[in-house]
A and B are shown apart, each in its own frame.
Chain A
């Protein structure tokens, strides 16, 4: 069971394309996160939003642009990506940024950049 959904589940794009990843949470949470998961590497935190305000940008290149229009939706806009950006992109949410609650993850978008 997951209250966090992500679309699309798979995406193949060229380096000159522009695409967006979407995340939606149905848990009434106020904090949302983007992570990157590459093969054999730890999950890397990319962005954090708390009550729609960005609180963390973990030195992510500007070709990744997040957007959080409300507490339930989070987008990741992609443009002029590189092949090394191919990875699983995971969205997560938690009730509050500074609570003891765990984060709940979506199923991820498997991105391949050609």
Chain B
């Protein structure tokens, strides 16, 4: 089976930077996704990495190292609306997505 680990909770101050790490072991690799999920809402797509390196999208960046089975999501200039659960998901050789349990980020004023 797949094994995807990420921290359960993180807390940061408004305006700060938070880095959410994700490590994975999967059968084959066809890309890594990050999703944001606010309480009671659908997960929404944030980023996709399939090659090593950093992908930047405004305040959010995602990094991938395939050799290390490691990714992180970097949230900059945190805003209160960024308080949510962040899900790391890896697509395997059969194109199935396996998810981590999610990291709940709380942004404090």
Residues of A within 8 A of B (CB): 2, 4, 40-43, 45, 48, 56, 90, 97-98, 100, 102-108, 110
Contact = CB atoms under 8 A, between A and B. Distances in A.
Contact of B97 (A41, A98, A103, A104): A103
Contact of B31 (A2, A90, A100): A100
Given A42-B100, A42-B101, A2 B95 contact: no
Interface string B45-75: 1001010000000000000000000000000
A48 B99 contact: no
B96 A43 contact: no
Interface in B24-51: 31, 33, 35, 40-45, 48, 50
B79 interface: no
Contact of B101 (A40, A100, A103, A105): A40
A103 B42 CA distance: 11
A2 B41 CA distance: 11
A90 B35 CA distance: 14
Given A41-B101, A48-B96, A100-B50, A90 B42 contact: yes
Most B Cβ at <10 Å: residue of A2, A102, A108: A102
Contacts of B43: 43, 90, 105
Interface of B: 4, 8, 31, 33, 35, 40-45, 48, 50, 87, 89, 95-102
Contacts of A48: 96
Contacts of A106: 42
9 contacts: A4-B42, A42-B4, A42-B99, A90-B42, A100-B48, A103-B45, A105-B35, A105-B43, A110-B40
A99 B89 CA distance: 16
Nearest to A103: B97
Nearest to A99: B95
Given A45-B98, A110-B40, 8 more contacts: A2-B42, A4-B42, A42-B100, A43-B89, A90-B42, A102-B45, A105-B44, A108-B42
